[in-house]
């Protein structure tokens, strides 16, 4: 069972400064929870995401699939000439365009759900339920090779940087 | 941070620009003397329109910043203001074009119009006196409002406060309506009427979006170049990302307009409309026809989609260089098939472009050096300098 040190804050600016302070002292901040997205937190935590790449690939795959389908349906399977236009025609573009967006968006959405193990009706486990309302939380993982001194040091930095409450939690929120 | 930054035009830069202008002048004179008058006039029109649309696009970008009250861009506003000064030079250069009107425009020959029902029908709009009147009125409006905005912005440097900020915003609101209406008619007058029998309702929109796209791209490039020379220390990755988004979004809009024009004409397949595209696709122009789409849309779209490229100096500069070629190809495709007909890129194309480029760079650089490089009392300046968004 993993435990986390949790600092609860009341203001986004204070959270940003606290994260900076912790990182200056060599503490790895595992996560930050907030009721709304905070600008700059993504870069500070050095989070990376491959979701845009996934979207690009889905979009490309969608475009190719749609072209293949249109080609199959209106050139191979049912070649019907109308309006003197060629069978393999430019007006494919509009359908390809729309479905590229559609497929890209839907699959990105599904990927996000799968990666985050989210599904409708899932029970939320949060160390501090108020993070969905008006509280901000900094999470630092408490690893096994941390000494008592390290822990009290983290507590001290959090307190100095404006945490209103510090506690330890073993809620395994990440899964 | 010291906000009193004065841009200085280096003597090396000045000399090389003068050399470029001289090359242009020699080419144009040689073009007339060797009897290639037709092609020379077409190239003068191309270059005049090219750099005018860059200035118009940059001004339009500036008005957008004022209307949306954008903070991030406030320290770069002197760049489009300096590009606006080129309008005055452009006005003088366009006057020369009136000597070439009979060479370029079929509708300007009275006897040809008399025997042509279509041109006769259009002659209420397309006749020389009205044409010249529109030209003068449009330029007068553009120059008047642009110079007014620049003056107020420079005055803001000493006065401060929000009084002039509000006035600039109001002038910008006036200017977007003026530009939307007048620049549309201007591109119809000078470019679409080359193929006087043909018309497209989306032609002016496409030319406007093209000006906006390339003007914005050049503002971004100038900001990056000045940053590399040490003038804009505040230019961060976030500013570059903002410029990148502008170029990215506008290149998509450009392609949308391109497709809107082409697809409808292709689909309806009416001879009166397809007459424009037939000489452009079914001839030696074919390569440039597709190059236009690749350079202006496909390359910026594909590469700027990858966020990391647009955040680097070389990334922005490369994309803008491609767009600069792209706009030239676009105007070449608009002008040449209707005027000189045969597809050739001769010394006139290259030399005259170099000349105009030198003149444009010289005018913009001189205008930049005339005022403080950063509007130092702009109300939102801090947002731009300490970029925390």
Query: What's the CA gap between B217 and B61, in Å, rounded?
Result: 10
* Residue boundaries of the structural domains of chain A: 3-48+135-169, 51-115
pLDDT of residue B45: 94
Mean pLDDT across chain B = 91
Residues of chain A contacting B, Cβ within 8 Å: 39-40, 52, 56, 83-85, 90-91, 93-94
pLDDT of residue A172: 66
pLDDT band at A173 (very low <50, low <70, confident <90, very high): low
CB pair distance less than 8 Å for B307 and A83 = no
- By the 10 Å C-beta count (0-12 exposed, 13-18 middle, 19+ buried), B220 is classed as buried
**Average pLDDT estimate for B214-229:** 94
Q: What interface predicted TM-score (ipTM) does this complex get?
A: 0.73
pLDDT band at A84 (very low <50, low <70, confident <90, very high): confident
Q: Between B338 and A77, whose confidence is greater? A: A77
Which residue of chain A has the CA closest to B389? A39
Cα–Cα–Cα angle for B327, B45, B331, nearest 5°?
Answer: 20
pLDDT of residue B60: 96
Share of chain A above pLDDT 70, in %: 97
Encode burial over B10-44: b for 16+ CB neighbours within 10 A, e otherwise: eeeeeeebeebbebbeebbeebeeeebeebbbbbb
Option in B266, B307, B388 nearest A90 (CB): B266
| B264-278: pLDDT as tens digits | 999 888 888 999 998
pLDDT band at A2 (very low <50, low <70, confident <90, very high): low
pLDDT band at A145 (very low <50, low <70, confident <90, very high): confident
A3-48+135-169: CATH topology is Alpha-Beta Plaits (3.30.70)
**Average pLDDT estimate for B353-361:** 96
pLDDT of residue A175: 40
Judged by DSSP in three states, B117 sits in: helix
Q: Is the pLDDT of residue B130 over 60?
A: yes
**What's the residue count for chain A?**
175
Please give the interface size between A and B, counted as residue pairs whose CB atoms are below 8 Å apart.
Answer: 17
pLDDT of residue B385: 86
| B166-193: pLDDT as tens digits | 999 999 999 999 999 999 999 999 999 9
CB pair distance less than 8 Å for B269 and A39 = no
Judged by DSSP in three states, B158 sits in: helix
* Cβ within 8 Å of A, B 360-389: 388-389
Option in B263, B305, B388 nearest A90 (CB): B263
Measure in Å the smallest separation between the Cα of A77 and chain B Cα atoms: 23
Measure in Å the smallest separation between the Cα of B262 and chain A Cα atoms: 10
Mean pLDDT across chain A = 86
| B275-295: pLDDT as tens digits | 999 888 888 888 999 999 999
Q: Is the pLDDT of residue B387 over 80?
A: no
CB pair distance less than 8 Å for A83 and B269 = yes
- Tell me which chain B residues have a C-beta less than 8 angstroms from the C-beta of A40: 388
* Cβ within 8 Å of A, B 238-277: 259, 263, 266-267, 269
pLDDT of residue B327: 95
Option in B269, B305, B307 nearest A84 (CB): B269
């Amino acid at each position: 069972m993993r435990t986390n040190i949790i600092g609860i804050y009341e203001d986004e600016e204070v959270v940003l400064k606290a994260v900076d302070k912790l990182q200056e002292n060599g503490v790895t901040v595992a996560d930050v929870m907030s009721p709304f997205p905070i600008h700059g937190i993504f870069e500070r935590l050095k989070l990376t995401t491959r979701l845009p790449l996934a979207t690009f690939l889905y979009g490309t795959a969608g475009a190719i699939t749609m072209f293949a389908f249109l080609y199959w349906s209106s050139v191979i399977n049912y070649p019907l000439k109308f309006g003197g236009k060629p069978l393999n025609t430019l007006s494919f573009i509009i359908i390809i365009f729309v479905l590229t967006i559609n497929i890209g968006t839907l699959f990105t959405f599904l990927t996000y759900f799968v990666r985050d193990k989210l599904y409708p009706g899932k029970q939320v486990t949060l160390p501090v339920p108020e993070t969905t309302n008006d509280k901000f939380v900094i999470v630092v993982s408490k690893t096994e090779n941390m000494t008592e001194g390290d822990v009290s040091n983290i507590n001290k930095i959090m307190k100095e940087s404006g945490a209103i409450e510090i506690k330890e939690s073993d809620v395994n929120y990440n899964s | 941070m010291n906000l009193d930054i004065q841009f200085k035009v280096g003597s090396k830069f000045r000399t090389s620009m003068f050399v470029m202008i001289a090359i242009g002048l020699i080419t144009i004179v040689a073009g007339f003397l060797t009897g290639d008058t037709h092609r020379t006039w077409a190239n003068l029109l191309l270059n005049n329109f090219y750099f005018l649309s860059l200035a118009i696009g940059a001004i339009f970008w500036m008005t957008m910043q004022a209307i949306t009250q954008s903070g991030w861009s406030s320290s770069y506003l002197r760049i489009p203001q300096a590009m606006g000064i080129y309008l005055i030079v452009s006005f003088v250069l366009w006057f020369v074009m009136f000597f070439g009107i009979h060479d370029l425009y079929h509708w300007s020959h009275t006897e040809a119009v008399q025997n042509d029902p279509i041109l006769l029908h259009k002659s209420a709009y397309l006749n020389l006196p009205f044409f010249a009147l529109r030209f003068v009125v449009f330029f007068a409006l553009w120059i008047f409002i642009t110079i007014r905005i620049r003056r107020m912005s420079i005055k803001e440097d000493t006065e401060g406060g929000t009084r002039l900020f509000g006035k600039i915003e109001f002038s910008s609101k006036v200017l977007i309506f003026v530009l939307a209406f007048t620049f549309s008619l201007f591109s119809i007058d000078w470019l679409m009427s080359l193929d006087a029998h043909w018309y497209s309702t989306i032609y002016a929109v496409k030319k406007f979006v093209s000006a906006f796209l390339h003007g914005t791209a050049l503002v971004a490039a100038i900001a990056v170049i000045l940053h590399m020379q040490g003038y804009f220390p505040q230019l961060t990755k976030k500013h570059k990302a903002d410029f990148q988004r502008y170029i990215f979004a506008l290149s998509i809009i450009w392609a949308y307009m391109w497709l809107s024009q082409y697809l409808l004409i292709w689909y309806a397949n009416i001879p009166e409309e397809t007459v424009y595209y037939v000489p452009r696709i079914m001839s030696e122009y074919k390569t440039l026809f597709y190059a236009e789409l690749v350079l202006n849309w496909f390359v910026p779209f594909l590469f700027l989609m990858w966020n990391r490229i647009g955040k680097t100096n070389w990334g922005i500069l490369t994309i803008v260089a491609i767009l600069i070629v792209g706009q030239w190809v676009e105007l070449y495709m608009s002008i040449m098939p209707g005027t000189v007909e045969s597809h050739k890129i001769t010394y006139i194309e290259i030399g005259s472009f170099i000349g105009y480029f030198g003149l444009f760079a010289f005018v913009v650089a001189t205008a930049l050096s005339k005022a403080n490089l950063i509007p130092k009392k702009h109300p939102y300046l801090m947002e731009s300098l300490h970029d925390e968004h």
